[in-house]
Every structure is written in structure tokens, then in C-alpha cells.
Structure 1
Amino acid sequence: MAELPARGRAVCGGIIDAVTIPPATATPAFTAILSDTDFHRAAQGPGNHRLRIVWLGRRRVPGISAGVRLRVEGMVSLREGLPTMYNPRYEIIGIQES
């Protein structure tokens, strides 16, 4: 995730760290912060290891909550200093049971 372009199409994956649900009076937009899986393991290193994901027009996205592994694909742009992807295609990655 540290190698995301400032602007352009990208595919990446990680773990949802946080979700933001706006109040009923605000414009519907479900926002999540995706962190690099390697960053979770090492908790250090250079580069930006976070991606803001925004689903416009939605108050929630089924299956998306903190701790979920996710793979996203879409256009990246830099907003408020954080790489941001709007309305991405996404895939929830399950963990293998032992």
C-alpha cells in the first residue's frame, strides 16, 4: 500500500481499521480506513500504509466492519493528505479455519 499512486487505478488489500458512519442529517457516505497487512505485522516502516475508502450514497456496506480483510480495486486520488478510493470494487477475504 505504500506504493499506491497519487492518482490512478490501483488494486490493494489490507485490514479495515475503522469505519465512519455519518449522522442521519448528513449526506450518505460510508467511510473506512484500510491498513496494509504487513504494516499490522511490523507496525513500522516508511511510506503511507493507509487508504481511505468511501462509498458515496450509502450509510453502510454489508460485511464491512473493523477487523475485516479486504481487497479493493479502483481509482486512487489524494484527499487531505491521504490516498482515497471512491466506490471501489471490493472483495471480502475470509480467513482459513484450522
Structure 2
Amino acid sequence: MADSLPDGAARDGGRTTPLSQLPVKGRVLCQGRIESITYVPADRTAAFSAIVSESEPGRRGPAAVRHPRLRVVWLGRRRVPGIEAGTELRLEGMLSQSQGLPTMFNPRYEILSRQENE
């Protein structure tokens, strides 16, 4: 997969930055769980986005909103295989701010685990 982290990236001792300590901009390596995904209508420019958080899976309500969050956007794609709500990822890319949230466009990623469907 072209977007995934290179072999050994997870084992190279690289430290992930907690979402609560992300800088305003710059290259970062971070980790979190997909909280939600957004699909755009077919008549709009292709983009697939997800909100990543450090909150525990299944946590709901006002307390969950206070957890740091990161928006991840894959431009030119309507879907990214393996990326769905509940998936835990390690992400690497350039960080910027967009609509009040730290945002990464077209990050490299590694799927760490997936939520089991019941």
C-alpha cells in the first residue's frame, strides 16, 4: 500500500506525539483511533476524511468531546481501504490547522488494530 508506513517504521524507536501535544504545524508521528469518517457526495471533489482521537472506544457524551482530536484528509479518494470507525492507526505527515482542528492531508499510515464487528 503506497500510503502505509515503510517496513520497520513502527519498530525504529520513533516516538509518537500524543494528540494533546501536537504542535500548530510541522511533521509529526502520532497515533489514535478513528472516531468518525466523512464521505463526500459524488458531485463534489473526491476527498475522504476521518476524525482521530485518543478517547477510549465507545465513549460518548460531553466528556468524549474534550479529548484531543485530529482531522485526517485523503484528497482525491472517496474511500481508503481499512479505514473505518474504531480502527486504530499510526499516522505520519505534515500538520496544519483547518477549521479549528489540527489536520493532516494525505498522511502515511499504519493500521494497528481494527474494532471487531459483533
- Report the TM-score range of the alignment, normalised by the length of the smaller protein: 0.7 to 0.9
Deviation at 1:24, TM superposition (A): 0.3
**Is 1:92 matched up with 2:111?**
yes
Residue 80 of structure 1 deviates from its aligned partner by: 1.0
Give unpaired runs (5+ residues) of structure 1: none
2:44 to 13, 17, 26: 26
Which structure's relative contact order is higher, taking Cα pairs within 8 Å and 6+ residues apart? 1
Report the CA distance between 1:48 and its aligned residue: 5.8
CA distance in 2, matches of 1:27, 1:86: 15
TM-score (normalised: structure 1): 0.85
Question: Which protein is richer in strand relative to its size?
Answer: 1
Pairwise mapping of residues 61-72 of structure 1 onto structure 2 (< 5 A)?
61-72=80-91
Equivalents in 2 of 1:9, 1:48: separation in Å? 21
TM-score, normalised to structure 2, is: 0.71
Tell me, what secondary structure is at the counterpart of 2:49?
A: strand
SS in structure 1 opposite 2:42? coil
Give identity over the alignment, percent: 54
Mapping of 1:14-53 within 5 angstroms? 14-36=32-54, 39-40=55-56, 49-53=68-72
The aligned amino acid for 1:72 is L
Q: Which runs of 5+ in 2 are unaligned?
A: 1-18
RMSD over aligned Cα atoms: 2.1
State the aligned residue count. 92
Give the Å deviation of 1:70. Answer: 0.6
Structure 1 residue aligned with 2:7: none
Q: Matches of 1:23 and 1:52 in 2, distance apart? A: 19
Question: Does residue 79 of the first structure (1) align with residue 101 of the second (2)?
Answer: no
Moved over 4 A (4+): 41-44
